[in-house]
Every structure is written in C-alpha cells, then in structure tokens.
Structure 1
Amino acid sequence: MHNLTPEEKKEIYASFLSANYFWVLVSILIGVFSHLSRAIRWKIMMEPMGYNPGIKNTFMAVMIGYFANMALPRLGEVTRCGILARYEKIPIQKSFGTVVTERGIDLIMLSLAFLLTFLIHIDKLALFKTTTIYQNAADKFDHIENPGMIYWIAGAALILTGFLFFRMRHKISHLVIYQKIKEVILGFTEGLKSLVTIKKPFWFIFHSINIWVMYLLMTWIVFFSLPETSHLNLGIGLAVLVFGSIGIIVVQGGIGIYPWIVAEMLAIFAIPDTKGYAMGWLLWTGQTLMIVALGLLSMALLPVLNNKTKRNEFSGIQQ
C-alpha cells in the first residue's frame, strides 16, 4: 500500500462526504436480514438437541456476539452462547458445539465463494501477482530459505500435542481445563450430529445460502453510492466480498486493512485508488455502525423483553 498524498486523502474524504448514503442504509437493512437468517439457522441447528430458543433471544444473542467480537477475537461465540444459557437455559457446551459447526459451514461457503470468484475473474486475478497485496505477502517470506519446513514443524507439533494429550488423559482428567476441553469436544460432536438429524433440512440449506447472498447484496448495493463505482456488477461485488472477508478474518474487525483490500481489488477493475479507498471506508463504516447499533440495542432490550415475558408467564400462572 503506497502512502497517500495529502491531495489523495482530501479526495477520499470528499468522496466519502458526497456519497449517496441511501444505498449505505439499504445495505445496512440487507445486513439485518442476513443476521436474522443466521439466527434462524442457529435455532434450527439446536432443535435436534431438544432445545427451541425464541427467535428474539437468538437474534439478539447473535448481534451481541458480533459486537463482542469487535473487542476480542472469538469472544462473541462464547458471549452469545452465554446469553442463551441465561435466558433460554441451554447449556453453553451444547450451543457452543453448534456455533463451531456453524463456523465450519461458513468456511465451506467462503471457500465456494472464493472458487466462484476465481472462475469468474480468472483473467483479472492473475494480475494479483503484480499488486501490492501479493507483493506484501511475498515479502514476508522472502527471507525464509525453506518456507515448507514451517508447515512440517507446525504439523509435527500438532501431532505431538495430540499424542501427549491422548497418552496422559487419565492423569489429567481431574483438571478443570481437561473437563472444559472435553465438554467443548462433546458439544462440537453434538453440533455435528444435529446436522444429520436436522428437522428442517430445506430451511437449513436455504438460510445457509441466503446468509451469503445477503452478504453479496449488501456489498454490491453500496457501489451505487459513488458515481465511479455504480457501473460495477455483482461479480465484482463477489470479489470484494470474498477478499474483504479474508481481511476481516486476518485483522480484528478489518480495521484499516479492509478499505485497503477493497481499494486494491477495485484497482484491478480500473477504479482509481482514491475512489477504491472511499468505497472501502463506506462498506466498513456501514457494516460497523450496524453491528455497534444493533449490538448495543440488543444489550439494552434483552433483559427488558425477557423480564416482560417472565411477568406475563407469572400472571398467567396466577390466573
């Protein structure tokens, strides 16, 4: 990433201010539906285990989880499971197993999206070898004489750790950390089993696909907010979604790196750097504001709505 000149920074700022924010708001609305779809899918995954959480609590747990993830990696997964444990009486190890399984499904969907992006833009992505993204990544490993050795060492360390854990399991079975790991593994196993015994396979598949369709639409629709990007098609939106998602995974919340990746990606499609950066910041800002707003709103409403439900149930018992 080259250092932006003061003039370029002014141009990015001007584009950011002059953007049509109607399309950013539409993107946020689409994003809400994607998260609602995720909440419904999570609810479907827990039904085979005998749990039927309310959709309101499930949705708010998902949004608070996203908000928590902005603070610390993977904190959101534990947080949303803790919320259902408190308000829906679902053991954390049970719901956490479905969350881990859910992340596996998301990884598969992202891989498929990446493959589709590669097939659509194979000629353009070949140019990536000359872009800043590729060069920066390559520079990190230029000083390593045998990069493949890193993978062998990491693999051997992982196998050795697993072997020692298996051999010493009886000696360490009384430790709290062993019990926690065991609970997580059992929960993950139940999460996988829930896929086999899913009660609503059609809706499970529908929402798994719909989540990513909504992600694509909420990315592409923002292109209309700038005249220079309004002509870009869904295929380019898919490329931005895929590589932008990788940036969010690599850096917590995608802070800083997400707009850069968007700019580098759009540069391949002849969009000036300044407009690419502006688009990256528009996308990142819209998504971040949505998560912060809905996360805070969910934190405020969750105890209120559940207390109201309890009062209504208590009144019904008295009558």
Structure 2
Amino acid sequence: MQHPRQHTISNHRISLLRFLLKYGVPVTITVGLCYMLVKGTDLHEMWHTIRTECDFRWIGANLLLVIGAQVARAARWRLQLRALGIKASLWVLTLSVFGTYAVNLVFPRLGEIWRTGFIAERHRSPFTTVFGSMVADRLADTIAVAIITLATFAMAGPQLMSYLGQNPDRISGILSLLTSPLLWGSIAACTVIAVWLYLRYPDSKAVSSLRNIWKGLWKGFAVITSMRGKWEWFFYTLVLWGCYILGLGCAFMSFPLTAEVITQHGFTALLVCFVLTSLSMLVPSNGGIGPWQWAMIFGLGLYSAGIPGLDKGYMTSFANLALSVQTISSIILGLFTFAWIALDKRSKK
C-alpha cells in the first residue's frame, strides 16, 4: 500500500508534468523559433531597415483594423449571448476579447477559458452555456479560415503546395494517422463504451454531471441556428475577417519591397501570406510568436525572386515589426482591460 506522503509527492509530480506540458512546451517552441529567427541575423541592420524603410502611418492603420476586427468579434458574440438571455454590453465584451489575447500571450489557449469565466461570473450565467457560445464563435472562425484557404488554393495552388511540400514526411505521417485502423477502431470502441455506460447507469452522478455539461455546451453552441439577427451575425463575420486581411495589407504597404509584392502579384500574394500565418497559429506558441514570422518569411519568399533586395534579412525585419506591434498593442489593451475590471469591482464594492 502506498504511503500517503508518497501519494502526495506523486500527485505533485503529475501536476508539475501537466503544467510543463501545457505551458512549458509553447514557451520552448516560441523561444526556439525566435532564436532560429535571429540566429545569423544582423540586429543592427534589421533595426536600420525598420527605421529607414517603414512608413509607420500604415502600421497605425494596421492596428486600427486589427482592433476593429476584435470589436466585430465582440459584437458578433453579443448576438449569440443575447439569444441565450445574457445581455452583455459591447464595451464589456470588447474588453473580454482584449483580455483573451493578452492572456494567450502568457498562457496559450487559456484566454478563451478566461473570457468565458469573466462573462459567466459577471452576468451570473452557467459557465458551460457561455463556453458553448464561445466554441461556436471559434468554430465560425475555423470555417472562415477554411473557406479563405480553399479560395486561396484555387488562386495560388502551386505556392501553397510548395509550402506543404517542405515537410513531406510529416504530411505522410498525418495522412497515415488519419487512415489508421487503430485510430478509428479506438474511437469506435470508446463510443460504444460511452453509450453503454450512459444507457446502463443513466441515474449515476457522473452521467448526470456529463449530461448537464453537454446540455449547457449544446445550448450555447446551437443558439446560432435559431437566434435572431443571423444576417447581422454573418455581416460581423465578414467585417472581422475583412479587417484582418486589410490590416495585413496595410502592414505590407508600410515597407516599399513588401508593397512591391502586392504591386507585382496582386491580392493573391497577400492572401497566401495571410493563409500561411493563420495556419501557423495552430502551432502551440505564445501568441503565435515564432511560427508567425517563419510563415510570413516563407510566404514572402515565394514572390521574392523578381524583387531585388527582398532577402531574408528584409523579410525578417518586416515580419518581426508586424508581429511585435500587434503583440505590444495586445499587452497594452490587456493591461487596460484588467485595470478597468479591478476598478469596476472596487466601485461596485
């Protein structure tokens, strides 16, 4: 029989391991990719390029459009919450979105949980219901990115296939995993066991708790199909992603050589870089730092052959500045959000 003290130590080790896997891996990836990014790069030359080449008026326009996208996200989410009987103000929801991006910089993927908890606590609503509406919000983003990606594939298939072809072993590994009989057999077995437990012990505490959680998630998720203002919701979705794409276009216009990419290759080149950087956010990292720059450098590299001077150093300078400005703005807006929440709570007390 295991001694209680040994059992406690074992639990602490498991908790530490989970913490390291959840937060240590993204930090390690971020630091590693950033190191590879600056390795062999002349930092003085990079700063000189930014200082002499960048038109910061376009960067300002980029920031305004990114903030506009976040406000559109809050407005879209408000429609879903209102259909659930949760009357949150646009101001509070916008602050919750600002806070989400700030939290994700420190704890990747935890920002959405914080946003759900903040709104659920503030409006005394079930966490699972609010979380379900947030899941629907994120699913809509996934579908939007998929549509943009497919459209970009249609217009610039060779460039994107070249990008995917950089890691043929990894792609074949993913395909073999998706077609593995072991994977689908395990999923089928787990499904059968779950259904059997549900039917065999319908009144058990665990099954009741899971049933309540599922009902809350489904209620928040399915409201999008029955709520009023579907066309308004669709409009906010278009505004959201339009702001992101146009914002990246403004960033391109801030440097002469990246602006030349759009001049020579048109809107397709911008979409290719947008898709690559969007897909890079799937890599676990702090706020996309590291993967985002690499994806941008690769995307620009597809069109650099006919543009003298658009080398890796120049592309690195552009990518670092574009993401750094957004990261700094997320930190500032996040600090403002948390300060407002603290002052609001104090005033209510």
TM-score between both structures, scaled by the size of structure 1: 0.84
Q: CA deviation at 1:149?
A: 7.0
Distance 2:239 2:37 in 1: 38
Contact 1:60–1:298 under 8 Å retained in 2: yes
* Residue 261 (structure 1) aligned with residue 284 (structure 2): no
Matches within 5 A, 1:103-118: 103-118=138-153
Deviations 1:79-101 (A, max 9, x none): 11111122222221111010111
| Partner residue in 1 for 2:215 | 186
Q: Secondary structure at the match of 2:165?
A: helix
Q: What CA distance in whole angstroms lies between the structure 1 residues aligned with 2:57 and 2:201? A: 61
Equivalence for 1:236: 269
Task: Tell me, yes or no, if structure 1 residue 82 matches structure 2 residue 117.
Answer: yes
48, 52, 68: which one pairs with 1:14? 48
C-alpha distance in 2, partners of 1:181/1:279?
A: 48
Distance (whole Å) between structure 2 residues aligned to residue 83 and residue 3 of structure 1:
36
Q: Distance in 2 between matches of 1:295 and 1:78?
A: 15
CA distance in 1, matches of 2:40, 2:239: 42
Equivalent residue number for residue 72 of structure 1: 107
Give structure 2 stretches of 5+ with no counterpart.
1-32, 305-309
Indicate conservation of the 8 Å contact 2:277/2:292, yes or no.
yes
- The amino acid of 2:242's aligned partner reads V
How big is the shift at 1:118? 1.2
**Structure 1 pair 207–7 and aligned structure 2 pair: CA distance change class (3 A):** closer
How many residues align? The count is 303
Q: Indicate which of 338, 344, 349 corresponds to 1:299.
A: 338
Answer yes or no: is 1:97 the counterpart of 2:132: yes
Report the CA distance between 1:237 and its aligned residue: 2.0
Q: Secondary structure, in 3 states, of the residue corresponding to 1:254?
A: coil
Indicate the larger mover: 14-23 or 101-110: 14-23
Q: Distance in 2 between matches of 1:92 and 1:263?
A: 40
> Is 1:286 matched up with 2:325?
yes
Displacement of 1:191: 2.5
Q: Report the Cα distance in structure 1 between the residues aligned to 2:288 and 2:37, rounded to whole angstroms.
A: 19
Secondary structure of the residue aligned to 1:121 is: helix
Find 1:35's aligned residue among 47, 57, 70: 70
- Deviation readout 1:194-223 (Å, 9 max, x if unpaired): 112221122101001111101101111111
| Distance 1:8-1:183 versus aligned 2 partners, 3 A rule | farther
Q: Percent identity?
A: 20
Which residue of 1 is the match for residue 92 of structure 2?
57
**Is the 1:124–1:268 contact (alpha carbons within 8 Å) kept by the matching residues of 2?**
yes
Change (3 A) 1:140 1:111: closer
Question: TM-score, normalization: structure 2?
Answer: 0.77
Which residue does the alignment assign to 1:317? none
Partner of 1:246: 279
Listed one character per residue, the Cα deviations across residues 207-245 of structure 1 (whole Å, up to 9, x for unaligned) are 011111011011111112211112224332222111101
What is the Cα deviation at residue 156 of structure 1?
2.4
How many Å apart are 1:148 and its aligned residue? 4.9
Is the deviation greater in 2-11 or in 253-262? 2-11
1:21-67 superposed Cα distances (whole Å, 9 cap, x missing partner)? 33222211111111011001101011122121111111111211222
Structure 2 Cα separation of the partners of residues 294 and 3 of structure 1: 27
Q: How does 1:162-173 map to 2 (within 5 A)?
A: 162-169=191-198, 171=201
Alignment counterpart, residue 134 of structure 1, candidates 156, 165, 170? 165
Name the SS of the counterpart of 1:59 in structure 2.
helix
Which residue of structure 2 aligns with residue 222 of structure 1? Answer: 251
Q: CA deviation at 1:168?
A: 2.0
The amino acid of 1:38's aligned partner reads: R
How far did residue 150 of structure 1 move?
A: 6.2
Contact 1:259 1:278 survives alignment (8 Å): no
Aligned-partner SS, 2:87: coil
Give ranges in structure 1 of 5+ residues lacking alignment. Answer: 312-319
- For the residue of structure 2 that corresponds to 1:22, the secondary structure is helix
The correspondence for 1:201, drawn from 202, 215, 230, is 230
